[in-house]
Amino acid sequence: MRHLKTLQCIADVAASGSIRQSAARLGITPSALTRKIQDFESELGTPIFERMPQGMRLNAAGELVLRHIHAQLADFERLRSQLADLSGVRRGHVTIAASQAFAHGLIPQEIATYRAQHPLVSFSVLVRDHIHAVSAVAGFEADVALVIAPPPAPEFQPLLILHQPLCALMSKDHPLAAAATIRLRECLQYPIAMPGPTLAIRHLLQAALVRLGLPVHTVVESDSFEVLRSYASGENIISFQIRAGVPQVSGNLVAREIDQRDLPPTQLVLGQLRGRSLSVAASKFVDQISSSLHSRYGDGRTG
């Protein structure tokens, strides 16, 4: 788009920190690029980059400008999506940042459902921990984020909040698989495949385990739910996962909820950047995933 070209150039230079590098990526010469930036700065009346021997870096004014540019580009994307919807076909691109817990089951399934109706909409999925998922939303890298226990941040606006119990994952022959819900202390009688410290549920577990004061027999610790799952399905080992993160088709794997006296329900939040209006495609995807989660899990809150 013609009138956004300069803005995109600035955003690219801000990201790469180098005029020559951005020039190559944008398919123009460094001189044209440097002039674009100079013209923009002179129109604005303020420099927005610090020129350093190592390259370009945004100054304070530039940070404001970059936020504005990202907002402009996002809003234009939303316009395109609206126009496409007007003519009957929904097209566009949706970027969702999600906790790893949902990367296998929930997200791909929701995307598949959505794309069955609107095949012209494409998706990007960023797997990030709760902190970085929220930053991705704040930095216009992602349209929405689906995370467990997000840090409170004023710019992150929740669109849906569910309270979910934690589940113990085990093979379906496991002695504990008979009960509907189990106590955390029962789990500790068996070897544990422990989520790594970058996973949000690790902190929740940690707190509960300390409260219990019992020894934990950790046989493996991993940042990958895939690894944890494979252990839990193979041996007599127990692992953990939030309920919405449990795959619906799970082979010989079963999930049993942990009694809420041991582990209070955890917030599962779908949210966006406050004050931003989403594209039609993203907005409708949010609607779908909201109603899907809501009908499947209701509001798991009990206390």
Quick check: 32 binds a second copy (CB under 8 A)? no
Give the DSSP H or E segment for 133.
Answer: helix 130-138
Q: Mark out the alpha helices in 45-129 (DSSP H runs).
A: 60-86, 106-117
Quick check: 34 binds DNA (CB under 7 A)? yes
Site for a second copy in 87-146 (CB under 8 A): 87
The interface region with DNA, picked from 30-38, 155-163, 190-198, 228-236 by CB under 7 A, is 30-38
- Binding partner of residue 18 among a second copy, DNA, none, CB under 5 to 8 Å per kind? DNA
CA-to-CA dists, residue 189 to 170, 185, 237, 255, 292, angstroms: 13, 7, 10, 17, 36
Nearer to a second copy, 2 or 261 (CB): 2
Q: Which own/partner contact pairs does 286-293 have at CB distance under 8 Å and 24+ positions apart?
A: 286/144, 286/159, 286/160, 288/110, 288/113, 288/114, 289/110, 289/146, 289/160, 290/159, 290/160, 292/110, 292/113, 293/160, 293/162, 293/244, 293/268
Looking only at the bridges linking them, the beta strands covering 253-258 and 181-182 are parallel
CA gap 256, 95 in Å, rounded: 32
Contacts for 134 with CB less than 8 Å, ≥ 6 apart: 145, 147, 150, 151, 153, 156, 271
Quick check: 159 binds a second copy (CB under 8 A)? no
Give the DSSP H or E segment for 51.
Answer: strand 49-52
Question: In this chain, which of 7, 10, 48, 56 binds DNA, going by CB under 7 A?
Answer: 56
Backbone angles phi, psi at 242, to 5 degrees: -70, 150
The interface region with DNA, picked from 26-34, 245-253, 273-281, 290-298 by CB under 7 A, is 26-34
DSSP 38: H
Quick check: 42 binds DNA (CB under 7 A)? no
The strand pairing partners of 164, in sequence order, are 266
Quick check: 1 binds a second copy (CB under 8 A)? yes
DSSP 139: T
* Nearest by Cα to 136 from 302, 296, 272, 1: 272
Q: Minimal distance in Å, beta carbon 50 to DNA?
A: 10
The interface region with a second copy, picked from 12-20, 36-44, 100-108, 117-125 by CB under 8 A, is 36-44
Site string for a second copy, 43-82 (x = CB under 8 A): xxxx-------------xx--xx--x--xx--xx-xx--x
Quick check: 51 binds DNA (CB under 7 A)? yes
Place of tokens 């899990």: 297
Site for DNA in 111-150 (CB under 7 A): none
**Cα 94 versus chain centre, distance:** 12
- Binding partner of residue 53 among a second copy, DNA, none, CB under 5 to 8 Å per kind? DNA
Quick check: 39 binds DNA (CB under 7 A)? yes
Q: Minimal distance in Å, beta carbon 29 to DNA?
A: 3
Question: In this chain, which of 173, 275, 295, 303 binds a second copy, going by CB under 8 A?
Answer: 275
Quick check: 55 binds DNA (CB under 7 A)? yes
Residues that bind a second copy (CB under 8 A): 1-7, 39, 43-46, 60-61, 64-65, 68, 71-72, 75-76, 78-79, 82-83, 86-87, 275-277
Residues that bind DNA (CB under 7 A): 2, 5, 17-21, 27-32, 34-39, 51, 53-56
